[in-house]
């Protein structure tokens, strides 16, 4: 049996995080410069069903049978085996690597899960279609997030820009011009589960107030979809800034995010906001092409620990 690889990219949310958990739409894109990889190798000479799991980044080197039921890596492997129910499971090692920063709003958990499902299903001779991969990954996302919207598993599985709304069929985006998105990491880790749960507490304390904020974010996302289709950069920038203000009202921003956002705007970005769960992790800025280098430099000078620029190409 050959060695089999599975791979999934990172993701970044352009508009609509948190409100998307409450049924509003959101826009997200894959980030192909970072990825999670799973490598499955047969364990020759070991008895059937013996599964060795290695993830050096998180110092994991163990047998699947020793991982707790709710461990997301163990759960992803078990869910894939349960989905395929092979008549015979050969012993194997699954080795996980990722260049996606953890707890930073870039979909690292979903990408690791998707890489596992892809590699393992291929290893067992039954590569699963995207819809099934995304569905299985969503179940595992619940262990990471509690109440995920499903946007992370969707973007990293389909690997294309999406206009996502919970419970609705996947919609792609029309893009008339290339846009340059500069992503900068505060270096502060914050699990999405925590911010999603904090927003839930806020919402439960005053549902009408927070539903109104979510609805306004939904309007921003709809307008952003239109602006992307028209290539209207100034309007997109304004929408990002307004989305950021509303995320501040949800109390998911942070001083370090705001310092980077201010630096990007000061260097010529047309708009900037936090991205993902917030209270740390990454921010994103939309830069006119001629300002990209300036924005990157300003972010570096303002303390970003990692900067990545991704170009969203026009659709034909």
* Catalytic positions: 152
Comparison of 114 and 196: residue with beta carbon closer to ligand MEV: 196
The number of helices, as runs of H, and strands, as runs of E, in the chain is 9, 11
Cβ at position 144, least distance to ligand MEV in Å = 9
- The answer to whether 164 and 150 have CB atoms below 8 angstroms apart is yes
Among 14-22, 91-99, 183-191, 210-218, the segment contacting ligand MEV (CB under 6 A):
14-22
| Burial letters 83-105, b for 16+ CB under 10 A, else e | bbeeeebbebbbbbbbebbebbb
- Quick one: which of 8, 20, 104, 182 contacts ligand MEV (CB under 6 A)? 20
Q: Does 276 bind ligand MEV (CB under 6 A)?
A: yes
In degrees and rounded to multiples of 5, residue 260 shows phi and psi of -70, -40
What is the token pair recorded at 209? 């107030």
Question: Using CB atoms, what's the residue nearest to ligand MEV?
Answer: 149
- Quick one: which of 90, 191, 237, 277 contacts ligand MEV (CB under 6 A)? 277
Q: Does 21 bind ligand MEV (CB under 6 A)?
A: yes
Q: Does 148 bind ligand MEV (CB under 6 A)?
A: yes
Q: Does 192 bind ligand MEV (CB under 6 A)?
A: yes
Query: CA dist 11 to 1, 21, 46, 90, 234, Å?
Result: 32, 17, 37, 33, 24
Query: CA dist 102 to 31, 35, 46, 110, 187, Å?
Result: 14, 12, 33, 11, 10
- Quick one: which of 27, 112, 143, 151 contacts ligand MEV (CB under 6 A)? 151
Interacting residue ranges for ligand MEV, rule: CB under 6 A: 13, 17-18, 20-21, 105, 145, 148-149, 151-152, 192, 196, 276-277
């Amino acid at each position: 049996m050959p060695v089999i690889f599975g791979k999934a990219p990172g993701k970044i949310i352009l508009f609509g995080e948190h409100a998307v958990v409450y049924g509003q739409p959101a826009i997200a894109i894959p980030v192909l410069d970072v990825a999670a990889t799973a490598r499955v190798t047969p364990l020759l000479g070991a008895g059937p069903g013996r599964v060795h799991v290695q993830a050096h980044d998180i110092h994991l080197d163990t047998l699947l049978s020793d991982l707790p039921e709710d461990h997301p890596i163990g759960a992803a492997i078990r869910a894939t085996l349960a989905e395929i129910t092979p008549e015979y499971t050969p012993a194997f090692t699954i080795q996980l690597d990722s260049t996606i920063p953890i707890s930073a709003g870039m979909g690292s958990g979903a990408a690791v899960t998707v890489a596992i499902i892809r590699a393992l299903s291929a290893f067992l001779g039954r590569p699963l279609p995207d819809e099934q991969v995304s569905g299985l990954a969503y179940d595992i996302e619940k262990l990471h997030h509690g109440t995920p919207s499903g946007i992370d598993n969707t973007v990293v599985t389909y690997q294309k820009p999406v206009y996502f709304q919970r419970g609705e069929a996947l919609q792609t985006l029309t893009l008339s011009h290339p846009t340059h998105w500069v992503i900068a990491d505060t270096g502060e880790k914050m699990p999405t589960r925590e911010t999603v749960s904090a927003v839930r507490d806020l919402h439960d304390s005053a549902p009408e107030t927070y539903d109104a904020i979510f609805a306004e974010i939904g309007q921003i996302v709809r307008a952003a979809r239109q602006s992307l289709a028209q290539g209207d950069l100034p309007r997109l920038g304004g929408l990002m800034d307004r989305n950021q203000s509303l995320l501040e009202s949800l109390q998911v921003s942070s001083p370090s995010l705001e310092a980077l956002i201010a630096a990007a705007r000061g260097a010529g970005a047309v708009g900037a906001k936090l991205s993902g769960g917030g209270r740390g992790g990454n921010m994103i800025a939309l830069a006119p092409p001629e300002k990209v280098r300036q924005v990157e430099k300003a972010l570096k000078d303002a303390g970003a620990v990692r900067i990545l620029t991704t170009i969203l190409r026009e659709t034909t």
